[in-house]
Amino acid sequence: MKKVFLFFAFGLSYLINAQQRPKLVVGIVVDQMKMEYLYRFSDDFTPNGFKRLMANGYTFQNMHFNYMPTYTGPGHASIYTGTTPATHGIVGNDWFNRSLGKEMYCTDDAAVKTIGDGTIEEGKMSPKNLLSTTITDELRLETNFKGKVIGISLKDRGAILPAGHFANWAFWYSKTGAFISSTFYGEKLPEWVTEFNNEKRFMPYINKGWDLFKSAATYDESLPDDNPYEGKLYKSVAPVFPYNLKDMYDKNDAGVLRSTPFGNNLLAEFAIKAIEKEELGKDNNTDFLTVSFSSTDYVGHLMGPRSMELQDTYLRLDQTIADFLTYLDKTVGKDNYLLFLTADHAGAENVSYLKDNKYAVNNIDPKEIVKGLKKYSQDTFGDDLVLNYSNFNLYFNKEIIKNKGLELLKVKQSFKDYLMTQVQVKRVYSEEEILASTGNDFYLNFISKGYDPSQNGDLVLLDKPGNIEYSGTGTSHGTPYSYDTHVPAIFYGWHIKQGETHDRKVITQIAPTIAQKIKIPFPNGTESNVLLEILE
């Protein structure tokens, strides 16, 4: 009898412990996804993709990024660290680093090498520039490195930053059509990755080309197929369906797949293979798979948010997600995985489209901004004091300023006065103002949370709403305005109740919420504000 009792007690204890964490956490980031797309395209989605997540999960209808600049690198880092660029250090995709005095890329690492069939430069990447830990790092630590973490994306930064410092692997897409990695993670690719690459699964998509997923009448939420606000895909004659991807591939490389919906399809195939071959979710050590769908961003930048191409990309992604959920149900089990879906930033309307509809906004070429700054500097100070302008940051050449006997504060004020005469500029903030921010200035608070004094500029520009430092076609992002900050956030699966809220939330609440949900430590830089709706 005593043995039976002990066996029962052990079994009950095991069951309770097992229920404290799911077998698998899946983090999905959809690059450049506006919350609005879930509304606008809703009638054309299947019941089993986005609609299934919203109907059976918990949806945060009013989720926002809380810093500037709203770019891909900072976005992925902020989602998974639970903090902002001021703390985690990823202040852009690439930026001029004040301390180093040169341009740098968010995941650059000259100390590592490419592994796999990629170019030399494509694989020189790691998370070394990320200053804080991620939720995935904390899972690895808490499970004594028994729980696996795999990060995958078409973009290196979309794979590396979510996977963190301690990941088993991060894989990203090469212009050769292969998924590659770097020696930061291992000396050679796992055999299953090499086998996947050898199958050249990208080629059927290239050979088939890109035509509409559904009947043309379905796309009435978008502008006509050929409109003046779209860019041209790989120098196509016109931005219209169908697209001959084989011709584009022959003239370029397998990178053409990125700017089509099929980059997302290929990534989903790779995710499924990773779950199978790495046996994710197969034991009681919780694993974490991070998936970043990047094709939405490539198409959005090129074609803009009102294009049929973008709508087609989302209708196809909806089906891809439906198929992926079905796979998770069958292999991991409906009650064994916790999934969240969000975006790394949203995106603006095309400026020309807004102007044609009588909204007085402008798109400004950053090269023209630099040209104007340098001319003003020469005319006013007799020398070029501009070291760099990028990501809304202006850096001064302090050596020249010192040698000329100029006062830095007066130089800053002079340039501020000049910039305030520019039609697109709303405010200009100095380093001193940013570091002294009290949080009372709504937009200065965004800038402060995205500002690292060892890396950022002497002045930071805030453009007026609706204005873009970009070309005339397609769209971009980066500002603290709602069109760039408002993204979806849906939790689904293990111990997630059905529901929704319209209360304003911020993206840095996701990581600490996951930490509390699965009972592991917070990422070390997190602000530790949680989404109580997910924990109740």
- Whole-angstrom distance, CA of residue 328 vs CA of residue 119: 33
CB-CB contact of 110 with 123 (8 Å): no
Amino acid letter for position 447: I
| Helical H segments across 170-236, by residue range | 191-198, 202-208
**The one catalytic residue among 46, 59, 70, 72:** 72
Main-chain phi, psi angles of 125, to 5 degrees: -140, 145
Q: DSSP state, 243?
A: B
Question: How far apart, in whole angstroms, are the C-alpha atoms of residue 113 and residue 101?
Answer: 24
Q: What are phi and psi of 152, to 5 degrees?
A: -140, 145
Q: Which helix (H) or strand (E) holds 515?
A: helix 510-517
Residue 270 backbone phi and psi in degrees, to 5: -65, -40
Let me know: does 32 contact 345? Beta carbons within 8 Å.
Answer: yes
Cis peptide before 69 (omega within 30 of 0): yes
Measured CA to CA, the distance from residue 269 to residue 200 in angstroms comes to 12
Q: Residue 521 is encoded by which pair of tokens? A: 């430590």
Q: What's at 169, amino acid-wise?
A: W
Beta strand spans in 31-81 (E): 58-60, 63-64
The residue assigned the tokens 């030399």 is 120
User: ∠ CA(460), CA(465), CA(469), 5° rounding?
Assistant: 60
Backbone torsions φ then ψ of 370, nearest 5 degrees: -65, -45
Residue with tokens 């980031």: 29
Residue positions counted in the chain: 536
Say which residue the tokens 């969240």 belong to. 340
Q: Give the integer Cα–Cα distance in Å for 313 and 299.
A: 8
Q: Which has the closest alpha carbon to 491: 28, 72, 81, 79? A: 28
CA distance 295 to 396: 36
CA–CA separation, 51 vs 205, rounded Å?
Answer: 26
Contacts of 259 (CB under 8 A, 6+ apart): 233, 234, 295, 298, 299, 302
Q: Which residues, including other chains, have CB under 8 Å from residue 120's CB and lie 6 or more apart?
A: 113, 114
How many other C-beta atoms are found inside a 10 Å radius of the C-beta of residue 59? 24
Return d(Cα 314, Cα 320) in angstroms, integer.
9
Among this protein's residues, is 72 annotated catalytic? yes
- Please, are residues 331 and 262 in contact by the beta-carbon 8 Å criterion? no
Distance CA 487, CA 345 (A): 7
| Active-site annotation, residues | 72
